[in-house]
Structure 1
Amino acid sequence: MHRQIKIEPNFKQHPAILELDISMVLTSRRQPPAILEPAMAGSQAASPSSHLHVVVFPWLAFGHMIPFLELSNRLARRGHAVTFVSTPRNAARLGAVPPELSALVRVAALELPQVEGLPDGAESTADVPPEKVGLLKKAFDGLAAPFAQLVAEACAGGKDEVAAFSRKPDWIVLDFAQNWIWPIAEEHEISCATFCILPAAFLAFVGPEHENAAHPRSTAEDFMAAPPWIDFPSTIAHRRHEAQAIAAVFRPNDSGVSDMDRFWELQQRCRLVVLRSCPEAEPRLIPLLTDIFARPVIPAGLLLPDDVVGDDDAAPGGDQSFSAAVRWLDEQPRGSVIYVALGSEAPVTAEHVRELALGLELSGVRFLWALRWPFGHSGELLPDGFERRVAGRGVVRAGWVPQVRVLAHAAVGAFLTHCGWGSTVENLFRFGHPLVMLPFVADQGLIARAMAARGVGVEVTWNEDDGSFRGDDVAAAVRRVMVEEEGVELARNAGELQKVVGDNPRQERYTDELVEYLQRYK
């Protein structure tokens, strides 16, 4: 029988894509569910020296795998063993685990089954157009059997040559999509936790199954208002074009099941819900989530990126071609450049790219643009003569861009972003740059509205019916942040927010407190 599991001690190097006390988390107007009471009542807090073995299993998207890996590294730094589960190609494309953690973090690479209609070699959402992601989920469901084999072998105990991994797993930390994991975990009596890499605002918006049953939503208009279980003023609502996309999350896709049904089934079975967030970043939401989901909702902190490496830093695989862009940045005045990046998976079209280019040209502002080619597009993309007209004040980089390093550069003064949670965390809460916001899907619009309400960014004006935008609207937003007097206040607000949210010792304490929960409720 062909063996589908490959255990490796570390990730391979490859040119990659690359003030609330914790006790308040359990503050609730509603009692915890009965299924948790016996486990809680019988649990004893583990000693600080009690080490865990945690199986970590993200969905096949780099926006999910990277924060899952960062959480894994942080657990390992606290002495806990982590088995990180993915597929061979994704494991190869992720950066290497720091050498000092290589004895405590390993990857289990499971072969992704073939599914008709899914491109050969596709193992992540970065490999497929948006309309094929449902097929990727169908293939992902095929990992149930090899994952069950992996867990059974891990539970056999005493067979692993590395002592840290010879013990039965204490936890499986999983993503939204693996509704087939809980029977495996139940068979082996392993606790499960859901790790949500999206902001608390998105989780609050979608809500639990029982609230959606009591307050059903089906039309776009239903998703354009805050749901009734959010009982305080908020910005948690979608614009029309966003609402149309969100409504699709509640309908079955090519895998035969909706994303929300997957999540709700998992949420009802998992003992803890873990958030990549904190109360300083998203006030009032964590107690609300603990209430409506009737589970402890635990902030792991923002998992802020590590310190930036030196100027001799190279791209993965030895690519030195970014050095010219670094030299250009070095020549620019302090705070004069806007960094432009729309993430690795936002559904950006060729028309979006052309209007964005026009807007950057019209703005007259210095920029460094990490340009991602739209999926499936071939031929010319930028407007004729664009690079010649912006020469000297604008750099377009279509290859690898070390985003954290760019954001740390003194020449960068703002960030034009799709408002993915990962990018928002990396920029605003790590470096305190104000935002020009161009959200596309899912949580991005909620993040943009929340950041605008906090006075740290400006959203580009959209056509709310079809989700299009114009170059002159991009230019106007860029100038508001980079040129006009309003930008001074936005920068000040962003800096003040960064001082609070980017407090590293406080962020580390959130992870410490998460570990305490994992030790107590295993």
Structure 2
Amino acid sequence: MARQPHVIVIPHAAQGHVAPLMKLSLQIAAHGVKVTFVNTEFIHEKVMASLPAKVEEEKRLISLVSIPDGLEPEDDRQDFVKLTESILRVMPGNLRNLIENIKRSDVDEQIVCVIADMAAGWALEVANEMGIKRVAVLLSGPASMALALHVPQLIDAGIIDTDGTLIKDESIILSEDIPAWRSSDFSWSCSDPVMQKVLFVYVSTALKTFKFADQLLCNTFYELDSSVMKLIPKAIPIGPFLASNHIEAFAGNFCPEDSTCLSWLDKQPAGSVVYVALGSTTILNPQQVDELALGLELTGIPFLWVISSNLTNGSTAKFPEGFIDRVADLGKIVEWAPQEKVLAHPSVACFVSHCGWNSTLEGLTMGKPFLCWPYFADQFHNRSYICDVWKIGLAVDKDENGIITRNEMSTKIKTLISSDGIKANALQLKEVARKSVNEGGSSFKNFTSFIELIWH
């Protein structure tokens, strides 16, 4: 019998990165591979505190370990620049020590592969120096990776400058099957020039990571992104990554899931509920929270609204006067929801989403129409796919003050729910997604080949 292979998995320190990589890790572990999942100490504590009570089986499947990120406990980890600098300074050395300690504790222990998030490319450099096989995982929309790979040519051609700003006011087209990028659709576009520079540095880091990777696993499926896959060498689509495929208790959250929303959904009629979840990074100002709340009330349609403390920039959400009393029988508000289960629930009619890639794939796999409310990074381009290519959703538009008004919300939700065409497209895409991960499907085959590679 071949010795059990051991892989190290390293996500970037953010909710939208830890959760999908945890799902992938469970899938790998289910095939008899030993998995050590490495978070920063700060993130590790959050994950451990949010673990469901019934997680014993999973603990046996995966070792959850941590290494320091170099910041003090009281430091602000929302300071993207400071956190990034600290991670790059201390984590490569910490990872090397961890791998050496694992080898020392058991001479026969063979770490066969380091699997790292594209946004944690430093881990692949460490693996490269230690002579270990390297696999990168792309967790954003693959089109954003295709664009990143074209950045050197775009700079040479004088289309963008070295900070990623568009020089000529024209859209960028990579292929006729891929939506064009306007200047506001780049994954690094940002109204804050300092932040844009930092995000654009991530793009050049991605290019470096790409060179170090032997393979690039993508959270997508071939049928969804075949034209993009042609533009990304080494890309292997093995998605969608779903917890529901594997294990009931899933351990990738920073915040405990509020499962009372599932029993609440059980009491609602089929196809009647608007599910609102704008991700873990979106921040709304108080006026926008008010308009969103009043827009949901205005529809008169039952709603389930996820409001994390991030949405209101760390403070407790304040609602319009009397709102909570007025919607007591209409809506439910939770801090964090078991999103896959919610989206799979027959009561849910549509998904008001920030169009992060995980949420996009989860909604699409559950056959739900989208109302698109992108916030940053690849979310704007994902919206183009949802609305213009797959035709499974609508977008909200801001008014002249940059606000999405209550009337805009209410009108779009009603239009979306009553569109048979969008519903039909969503159900059709759901079937294709399901087929890809089922036995014999494109992602199933790719993933099986990947596991064989780890074992041999």
TM-score range (shorter-chain normalised) is 0.7 to 0.9
Please give the secondary structure, in 2, of the residue aligned with 1:75: helix
**2:101 equivalent among 153, 173, 189:** 153
Matched with 1:387 is 324
Please give the secondary structure, in 2, of the residue aligned with 1:439: coil
Matched residue type, 1:448: R
Deviations 1:402-435 (A, max 9, x none): 2222222222111111111111222221x21111
Residues 334-483 of structure 1 correspond to what in structure 2 (within 5 A)?
A: 334-373=270-309, 374-376=311-313, 378=315, 381-397=318-334, 399-429=335-365, 431-453=366-388, 454-462=390-398, 468-482=403-417
Matched with 2:129 is 187
Normalised by the length of structure 1, the TM-score is 0.75
Matched with 2:81 is 134
Q: Indicate if the aligned counterparts of 2:305 and 2:333 stay in contact, CA closer than 8 A.
A: yes
Q: How far is 1:317 from its partner?
A: 12
Normalised by the length of structure 2, the TM-score is 0.85
Matched with 1:298 is 236
Q: How far is 1:250 from its partner?
A: 6.2
Please give the secondary structure, in 2, of the residue aligned with 1:288: coil
Q: 1:367, 1:410 → 2: CA distance?
A: 14
Residue 489 in 1 paired to residue 421 in 2?
Answer: yes
Q: How many pairs are equivalent?
A: 439
Judged with a 3 Å threshold, the aligned counterparts in structure 2 of structure 1 residues 411 and 277 are, in CA distance, closer, same or farther, namely: same
Q: Indicate if the aligned counterparts of 1:178 and 1:262 stay in contact, CA closer than 8 A.
A: no
Judged with a 3 Å threshold, the aligned counterparts in structure 2 of structure 1 residues 320 and 134 are, in CA distance, closer, same or farther, namely: closer
Judged with a 3 Å threshold, the aligned counterparts in structure 2 of structure 1 residues 65 and 320 are, in CA distance, closer, same or farther, namely: closer
Q: 1:472, 1:481 → 2: CA distance?
A: 14
Matched with 1:168 is 110
Q: 1:176, 1:202 → 2: CA distance?
A: 12
Judged with a 3 Å threshold, the aligned counterparts in structure 2 of structure 1 residues 330 and 306 are, in CA distance, closer, same or farther, namely: closer
Q: Indicate if the aligned counterparts of 1:154 and 1:168 stay in contact, CA closer than 8 A.
A: no
Judged with a 3 Å threshold, the aligned counterparts in structure 2 of structure 1 residues 319 and 281 are, in CA distance, closer, same or farther, namely: closer
Q: 1:321, 1:62 → 2: CA distance?
A: 16
Q: 1:244, 1:57 → 2: CA distance?
A: 26
Q: How far is 1:157 from its partner?
A: 7.0
Residue 251 in 1 paired to residue 197 in 2?
Answer: yes
Please give the secondary structure, in 2, of the residue aligned with 1:281: helix
Matched with 1:273 is 216
Matched residue type, 1:512: T
**2:33 equivalent among 80, 83, 108:** 80
Q: How far is 1:249 from its partner?
A: 6.7
Please give the secondary structure, in 2, of the residue aligned with 1:280: helix
Residue 108 in 1 paired to residue 54 in 2?
Answer: no
Q: How far is 1:322 from its partner?
A: 4.8
Deviations 1:415-466 (A, max 9, x none): 111111111222221x211111111111111111101121211111135x87
Q: Indicate if the aligned counterparts of 2:185 and 2:380 stay in contact, CA closer than 8 A.
A: no
Q: 1:317, 1:274 → 2: CA distance?
A: 24
Q: Indicate if the aligned counterparts of 1:436 and 1:478 stay in contact, CA closer than 8 A.
A: yes
Matched with 1:205 is 147
Matched residue type, 1:196: L
Q: Indicate if the aligned counterparts of 1:77 and 1:101 stay in contact, CA closer than 8 A.
A: no
Matched with 1:59 is 12
Q: How far is 1:222 from its partner?
A: 5.3
Q: 2:453, 2:284 → 1: CA distance?
A: 40
Please give the secondary structure, in 1, of the residue aligned with 2:268: coil
Matched residue type, 1:232: E
Q: How far is 1:329 from its partner?
A: 2.6
Q: 1:376, 1:260 → 2: CA distance?
A: 26
Q: Indicate if the aligned counterparts of 1:157 and 1:168 stay in contact, CA closer than 8 A.
A: no
Q: Indicate if the aligned counterparts of 2:353 and 2:373 stay in contact, CA closer than 8 A.
A: yes
Matched with 1:8 is none
Q: How far is 1:195 from its partner?
A: 0.8
Q: 2:106, 2:256 → 1: CA distance?
A: 42
Q: 1:318, 1:221 → 2: CA distance?
A: 38
Q: 1:267, 1:422 → 2: CA distance?
A: 21
Q: How far is 1:475 from its partner?
A: 1.5
Q: 1:249, 1:223 → 2: CA distance?
A: 21
Q: Indicate if the aligned counterparts of 2:185 and 2:378 stay in contact, CA closer than 8 A.
A: no
Q: 1:120, 1:329 → 2: CA distance?
A: 39
Q: 1:83, 1:250 → 2: CA distance?
A: 34
Deviations 1:46-80 (A, max 9, x none): xx967532111111001111111111111111111
Please give the secondary structure, in 1, of the residue aligned with 2:283: coil
Q: Indicate if the aligned counterparts of 2:240 and 2:362 stay in contact, CA closer than 8 A.
A: no
Q: 1:369, 1:204 → 2: CA distance?
A: 34
Q: 1:354, 1:333 → 2: CA distance?
A: 27
Q: Indicate if the aligned counterparts of 1:241 and 1:467 stay in contact, CA closer than 8 A.
A: no
Judged with a 3 Å threshold, the aligned counterparts in structure 2 of structure 1 residues 477 and 267 are, in CA distance, closer, same or farther, namely: same
Q: Which region of structure 1 is more displaced relative to structure 2, 401-410 or 495-504?
A: 401-410
Q: 1:389, 1:107 → 2: CA distance?
A: 44
Q: Indicate if the aligned counterparts of 1:419 and 1:445 stay in contact, CA closer than 8 A.
A: yes
Q: Indicate if the aligned counterparts of 1:155 and 1:168 stay in contact, CA closer than 8 A.
A: yes
Deviations 1:200-255 (A, max 9, x none): 12212222554344335136545985535x132421424638673298676247xx
Q: How far is 1:167 from its partner?
A: 2.2
Q: 1:320, 1:61 → 2: CA distance?
A: 17
Q: 2:10, 2:246 → 1: CA distance?
A: 27
**1:69 equivalent among 12, 18, 22:** 22
Q: Indicate if the aligned counterparts of 2:274 and 2:351 stay in contact, CA closer than 8 A.
A: yes
RMSD between aligned alpha carbons?
3.4
Structure 1 unaligned regions, length at least 5 = 1-47, 123-127, 160-165, 291-295
Q: How far is 1:468 from its partner?
A: 3.6
Please give the secondary structure, in 2, of the residue aligned with 1:284: helix
Instruction: Return the index of the structure with the highest Cα Rg.
Output: 1
Residues 204-223 of structure 1 correspond to what in structure 2 (within 5 A)?
A: 204-208=146-150, 210-215=152-157, 216-218=159-161, 220-221=165-166
Q: Indicate if the aligned counterparts of 1:76 and 1:101 stay in contact, CA closer than 8 A.
A: no
Q: How far is 1:517 from its partner?
A: 4.8
Judged with a 3 Å threshold, the aligned counterparts in structure 2 of structure 1 residues 224 and 389 are, in CA distance, closer, same or farther, namely: farther
Judged with a 3 Å threshold, the aligned counterparts in structure 2 of structure 1 residues 67 and 326 are, in CA distance, closer, same or farther, namely: closer
Q: Indicate if the aligned counterparts of 1:481 and 1:490 stay in contact, CA closer than 8 A.
A: yes
Q: Indicate if the aligned counterparts of 2:178 and 2:227 stay in contact, CA closer than 8 A.
A: no
